[in-house]
Amino acid sequence: MTTRKPSAHSAATPGEAVAHQHRTGWARMGRTGLAEKGQSQAGGESGSGQLLDQQNGAGESALVSVYVHLDFSDKTWPHEVSRTLTLPAASASSSPRPLLTGLRLTTGEYMSCFEAQGFKWNLHEVVRVPLKATDVARLPDQLSISCATSPGFQLSCCIPSTNLAYTVTWSPGEGSKASSFNESGSQCFVLAVQHCPMTDTVYTCDLQSPGLAPLRVPISITIIQDGDITCPEDTSVLTWNVTKAGHVAQAPCPESKRGIVRRFCAADGVWGPVHSSCTDARLLALFIRAKLLQAGQGSPAEEVPQILAQLPGQAAEASSPSDLLTLLSTMKYLAKAVAKARIQLDRSALKNLLIATDKVLDMDTRSLWTLAQARKPWAGSTLLLAVETLACSLCPQDHPFTFSLPNVLLQSQLFGPTFPADYSISFPTRPPLQAQIPRHSLAPLVRNGTEISITSLVLQKLDHLLPSNYGQGLGDSLYATPGLVLVISIMAGDQAFSQGEVIMDFGNTDGSPHCVFWDHSLFQGRGGWSKEGCQAQAASGSPTARCLCQHLTAFSVLMSPHTVPEEPALALLTQVGLGASILALLVCLGVYRLVWRVVVRNKVSYFRHAALLNMVLCLLAADTCFLGAPFLPPGPRSPLCLAATFLCHFLYLATFFWMLAQALVLAHQLLFVFHQLPKHRVLPLMVLLGYLCPLGLAGVTLGLYLPQGQYLREGECWLDGKGGALYTFVGPVLAIVGVNGLVLAMAMLKLLRPSLSEGPPAEKRQALLGVIKALLILTPIFGLTWGLGLATLLEEVSVVPHYIFTILNTLQGVFILLFGCLMDKKVQEALRKRFCRAQAPSSTIPLSTNEGYILEHSKGGSDTARKTDASE
């Protein structure tokens, strides 16, 4: 093999920090490139990163493997960020230039090795990278001081230790003394101001290194004047000097901690709460190492187990929200590094992860988790994703593996190309948990003799630490969770599978649970509960929730804390009531078939009974559909269930709109006594209002809520009460009840204050009594029933309103038969004529006849009016 050393050019690239620890790492930066035999160049542009320029003279392609050797003589790894490096075009005839995935480099010595077609190039490079303003720690970054009590003060700016030589110039620097010192990987420059300035001043820390642009960092000083509102000195925990109102006081962290402590002085001179970003220095070092591994520096196969070995100790010593968040971020970056490098963990590394996870879940909620979630509400989701990723990375030779701790239970098994039965597993948790994957769901995963591993992980207490984010179909209510999350993952080689049928049984879940999983993609990547692909199956006679899901992830169940338990008596009462209602409505149709010609001899009676007949037809069809809906397969994927829900919604709405049509006709007759309503105009309007309006409302509800997953109630063929679909039914119903109430109030007013111009008071009173009778019957039966139904949608409600609502709602057909049909004296008269062959007494005048007679008599005589009706 021929070895050549090409020329090298140094380049300055921006970095986030400077390297501090002596460590060697290898990172593959590129894939395929074009090279001319024996020639290579390396170059760069300031501020843009290293650029590798490869010429293509002979037009031959070569595989170029780029390795970067990082050799630092300091103690800590710097913060790094991945970026993409591009090759410049070699010539117009060359192939499209490849992309080299590289790293932002920091100051140090780099060695790169290029191998292609028997040639080898070694590149030795020294790169100098300037610091950025975010790399400089100022203590304080702002200060308010009283010159009367503190004639002098001290400022400092610290930078990470680096191979570059930095000098500092302070301005203004008159009457001050500058010094510097090194501590634990940092170099600090201090300015001791001997004389307090008279006015507000901005001090500047100018950092300079030969050959690099200077870096200027400002520090603001505010002078407290006489009369200014201030917060007093406080030495209760830390020493807080007198601070001007509206400013933030700062204090250094204790030993072995990194960060700063801040406290705000309010406008009224009262100290606010203390906010600390202090983080354990050793934990911060692990975080930096993990972040570098995720960025591509170092060897994940060697360093991930080393970092995991130290996590349990760090989790046990975590004492602040910053420690907890840093620990979670470390686990997140380790999971990303493992997934990116596709490495596998041994039993020891996985045990360390689970021990650390158990300690994290056992941390005090009030003092650590609550404060950490106030800063990052998605902290629990970060932990779940990291543990999900790392737990399924166990080496095949370490299967089977079982591990149990108070908050973490894991079982991992390896299956060969053939497995005899379904995969099933159970955990002795509270509540008890069982899971099963049918064999037919696993069979397609086994191909060409591939072995598959199934990992089942239970994390207790984690569901209480996840944010209360609910996806489509779950509404905004707060749910109770069983106290655990089940994570199931399947690996075939190094490939993860996310599809598969899973059956889970969650014990001791009284009520109506929702089967859900944690979807990390919801709420802009912060995660939330979703029920997509999951369905609850009722377990008769058992307080166990059975969930059937079509994918693999982290599962749980959600339960409303105020859900009314399912009661068999309530379901039986519903079926019996609907059966009685249907039978009563059929009897009502039979009665109308016998007496229709007798009871509709005038317009008022015709409009009233026509509306009542359509109400009977709609309610009969709706009750029949609702009674058969429980026998249909529930869910949005069932066309029969969707059709039944739509029909029930439309028909029940039509029942109420026909009641509205009847009320409007009666109100017209009440207000305009001398104005007759022609049938050929009124009937089309009544049909339009009674059928077309509810059809439009039902269609809009279907189109609006079905795509959002909020149309169907969980496990039922009826409108969802949490998503808002049910309110498109209850809302119009209550509005119609309100209109009927107005008509009733108007009738009472007319009855109490009759007008002589509208006809004889006695006759008018009889007509108004007919209107009041109709409203007093229909309004309580239909309106008040669904007003009570709306009350049952409230969370904090006992089972008693449910029973009352069920009785009133399912017996509406019986009420219509009794009060709307059989109580009508004209109907009674017609029935007696038909069955008894006897005439009713001449002194008996039906109420409905009175209505027509009074209205017609007031216009000029009953005989003329009857002739007019007959002609129409």
Residue 811's SS3 state is: coil
The distance from CA 565 to its chain's CA centroid, rounded to whole angstroms, is: 26
pLDDT at 135: 82
Highest mean pLDDT among 84-88, 170-174, 268-272: 268-272
Tens digit of pLDDT for each residue in 414-447? 887 776 678 888 898 887 888 888 888 877 776 6
Query: How would you class 443 by CB atoms within 10 Å of its CB: exposed for 0-12, middle for 13-18, buried for 19 or more?
Result: exposed
Rounded distance between C-alpha atoms, residue 789 and residue 730, angstroms: 8
Q: Which two tokens stand for residue 426?
A: 């159970």
Highest mean pLDDT among 351-365, 511-525, 543-557, 657-671: 351-365
Contact 757, 704 (CB under 8 A): no
The Cβ of residue 133 has, within 10 Å, a number of other Cβ atoms equal to 11
Helices 847-857, 862-871: axis angle to 10 degrees equals 100
Contact 673, 759 (CB under 8 A): yes
Tell me the mean pLDDT in the region 25-34.
Answer: 33
With a pLDDT cut of 70, the percent of the chain lying above it is 69
Inter-CA distances, 629 with 431, 536, 573, 710, Å: 32, 17, 16, 18
| Mean pLDDT, all residues of the chain | 74
Nearest alpha carbon to residue 76 among 282, 254, 257? 282
pLDDT at 818 over 50: yes
Could you identify the residue written with the tokens 């989790």? Answer: 315
Indicate the helix (H) or strand (E) that contains 453. strand 452-460
The amino acid present at 112, given as its one-letter code, is S
Helices 321-341, 379-391: axis angle to 10 degrees equals 40
| Length of the chain, in residues | 872
pLDDT at 799: 64
pLDDT at 59 over 90: no
- Tell me which DSSP letter residue 223 carries: E
Tell me the mean pLDDT in the region 610-637.
Answer: 85
Rounded distance between C-alpha atoms, residue 308 and residue 318, angstroms: 15
Contact 534, 548 (CB under 8 A): yes
Helices 281-295, 321-341: axis angle to 10 degrees equals 30
pLDDT at 676: 67
pLDDT at 847 over 90: no
Residue 482 confidence class, pLDDT cut points 50, 70, 90: confident
Query: How would you class 291 by CB atoms within 10 Å of its CB: exposed for 0-12, middle for 13-18, buried for 19 or more?
Result: buried
Residues near 727 by Cβ (< 8 Å), separated by ≥ 6? none
pLDDT at 161: 76
Residues near 588 by Cβ (< 8 Å), separated by ≥ 6? 616, 813, 816, 817, 820, 821
Contact 66, 112 (CB under 8 A): yes
Rounded distance between C-alpha atoms, residue 855 and residue 424, angstroms: 78
Contact 253, 297 (CB under 8 A): no
Q: Which residue has the higher pLDDT, 668 or 302?
A: 302
Residue 840 confidence class, pLDDT cut points 50, 70, 90: very low
Between 113-122, 753-762, 813-822, the lowest mean confidence (pLDDT) is in: 753-762
Between 19-33, 202-216, 338-352, 358-372, the lowest mean confidence (pLDDT) is in: 19-33
pLDDT at 673: 59
Contact 655, 615 (CB under 8 A): yes
Contact 263, 242 (CB under 8 A): no
pLDDT at 711: 86
Query: How would you class 58 by CB atoms within 10 Å of its CB: exposed for 0-12, middle for 13-18, buried for 19 or more?
Result: exposed
Rounded distance between C-alpha atoms, residue 817 and residue 795, angstroms: 34
Rounded distance between C-alpha atoms, residue 860 and residue 520, angstroms: 78
pLDDT at 84: 39
Rounded distance between C-alpha atoms, residue 99 and residue 439, angstroms: 44
pLDDT at 695 over 60: yes
Q: What sign does the dihedral 712-716-719-724 (CA atoms) show?
A: negative
Q: Which residue has the higher pLDDT, 49 or 506?
A: 506
Q: What sign does the dihedral 722-728-732-733 (CA atoms) show?
A: negative
Alpha helix segments (H runs only) across 451-602:
522-525, 568-599
Q: Which residue has the higher pLDDT, 745 or 757?
A: 745
Instruction: Report the DSSP pairing between strands 215-223 and 142-145.
Output: parallel
pLDDT at 581 over 70: yes
Rounded distance between C-alpha atoms, residue 691 and residue 681, angstroms: 16
pLDDT at 477 over 70: no
Tens digit of pLDDT for each residue in 174-189? 878 888 888 767 788 9
Q: Which residue has the higher pLDDT, 545 or 108?
A: 545
Q: Which residue has the higher pLDDT, 610 or 792?
A: 610
Could you identify the residue written with the tokens 């955990």? Answer: 427
pLDDT at 733: 84
Rounded distance between C-alpha atoms, residue 751 and residue 748, angstroms: 5
Residue 212 confidence class, pLDDT cut points 50, 70, 90: confident
Tell me the mean pLDDT in the region 520-530.
Answer: 87
Q: Which two tokens stand for residue 506?
A: 């969650």
Tens digit of pLDDT for each residue in 293-338? 888 878 899 999 999 999 999 999 998 999 999 999 999 999 999 9
Residue 32 confidence class, pLDDT cut points 50, 70, 90: very low
Alpha helix segments (H runs only) across 513-638:
522-525, 568-599, 603-628
Tell me the mean pLDDT in the region 357-378.
Answer: 89
The Cβ of residue 862 has, within 10 Å, a number of other Cβ atoms equal to 17
Residue 523's SS3 state is: helix
- Tell me which DSSP letter residue 782 carries: I
pLDDT at 758: 47
Between 582-596, 645-659, 738-752, the lowest mean confidence (pLDDT) is in: 738-752
Between 114-123, 155-164, 610-619, 774-783, the lowest mean confidence (pLDDT) is in: 774-783
Nearest alpha carbon to residue 619 among 653, 594, 596? 653
Nearest alpha carbon to residue 846 among 585, 584, 609? 609
Tell me the mean pLDDT in the region 77-101.
Answer: 38
pLDDT at 579 over 70: yes
pLDDT at 512: 65
DSSP structure string for 759-779: S-HHHHHHHHHHHHHHHHHHI
Tell me the mean pLDDT in the region 775-802.
Answer: 60
The amino acid present at 648, given as its one-letter code, is C
pLDDT at 87 over 90: no
pLDDT at 811 over 80: no
pLDDT at 281 over 60: yes
Highest mean pLDDT among 156-160, 768-772, 808-812: 156-160
Tell me the mean pLDDT in the region 279-298.
Answer: 88
Rounded distance between C-alpha atoms, residue 129 and residue 250, angstroms: 30
Residue 634 confidence class, pLDDT cut points 50, 70, 90: confident
Determine if the peptide bond prior to 431 is cis (ω within 30°): yes
Instruction: List domains and CATH numbers for the chain.
Output: 120-219 (2.60.40.10), 227-277 (4.10.1240.10), 568-829 (1.20.1070.10)
Between 157-171, 276-290, 819-833, the lowest mean confidence (pLDDT) is in: 819-833
With a pLDDT cut of 90, the percent of the chain lying above it is 18
Residue 781 confidence class, pLDDT cut points 50, 70, 90: low
